Amino acid sequence: MHIADGILSAPVLAAGFGGTVVIAAATMRKMDLDEIPKVSVMAAVFFVANLIHIPIGPTSIHFILNGLVGVILGPRAFAAIMLGVILQAFLFGFGGVTVIGVNCVMLGGGALIAYFIWQMRHRFPSGDRLEMVFGAIAGAVGVSFSGVILAAALFTSGDEFWATAGYALAAHVPALIIEAIVVGACVTFLKKARPDMLAGHVQKTYNKSVA
């Protein structure tokens, strides 16, 4: 889903870098040192998932897992994805240097939206499948948001990209479905094995009365 160099207009590129600076500053405030290992691990997960590309016509799809990153890291998800995007650009040439800002907003923004969806589960009565459902929705919405930003960036860069914008958005429908299943399954596993790894996890304590 990365956008390559030489496609977007200068105003869109500038808006991407500006948005990245603002969002990074807001989401990385007061980050503790003990959060860095978790952020680094999820950055690696995002990095590796993006290496698998499936070509579809003039574009390609791949695992993004920004929804999973958002569900696990919460607001810190943007930092993890920003790190992954920068490393991908410099090490493998994914996207490019000039589009780092747009790619960060596109992919990291999807992670933040996924986290917002994930947190909405607290508004509903708890159930056996509540986390799985909201995890799946978060995974799907994360990809959907990134797809919309991708299409918008192409659409605003010139009418010659309008057809490509629509095609790229439609091509990621399979990824949306797959990531919903993957994130839902991961959330179900973590809920049982390591619930403390999920963002917004509330540790329940029980007070036993003394007879």
Q: What is the pLDDT of residue 110?
A: 95
Residue at 67 is within a domain = yes
Cα dist from 69 to 22, 79, 103, 179, whole Å: 20, 10, 16, 12
Residue at 204 is within a domain = no
Alpha-carbon distance of 100 to 82, in angstroms, equals: 8
Total number of domains in the chain: 1
Per-residue pLDDT tens over the stretch 15-61: 999 999 999 999 999 899 899 999 999 999 999 888 776 665 555 66
Residue at 206 is within a domain = no
Q: What is the pLDDT of residue 133?
A: 95
Question: Where in the chain does DSSP place strands (E)?
Answer: 53-56, 59-62
Alpha-carbon distance of 126 to 170, in angstroms, equals: 34
Residue at 203 is within a domain = no
Residue at 22 is within a domain = yes
Flag whether pLDDT at 206 surpasses 50. no
Strand, helix or coil for residue 30 = coil
Confidence of residue 84 (pLDDT cuts 50, 70, 90): very high
- Average pLDDT in the chain: 86
Alpha-carbon distance of 211 to 201, in angstroms, equals: 31
Beta strands 59-62 and 53-56, pairing class: antiparallel
In contact, 82 and 24? CB cutoff 8 Å:
yes
Q: Which domain holds residue 108?
A: 10-197
**Span between the terminal Cα atoms of the chain, in Å:** 61
Q: What is the dihedral of CA 126, 129, 131, 136, to 10 degrees?
A: -140
Residue at 56 is within a domain = yes
DSSP secondary structure string, 67-123? HHHHHHHGGGHHHHHHHHHHHHHHHT-SS-STTHHHHHHHHHHHHHHHHHHHHGGGG
Residue at 85 is within a domain = yes
| Neighbour-count burial of 17, counting CB atoms closer than 10 A to its CB (0-12 exposed, 13-18 middle, 19+ buried) | middle
Q: How many residues does the chain have?
A: 211
Residue at 208 is within a domain = no
CATH code (residue 71): 1.10.1760.20
Alpha-carbon distance of 109 to 70, in angstroms, equals: 9
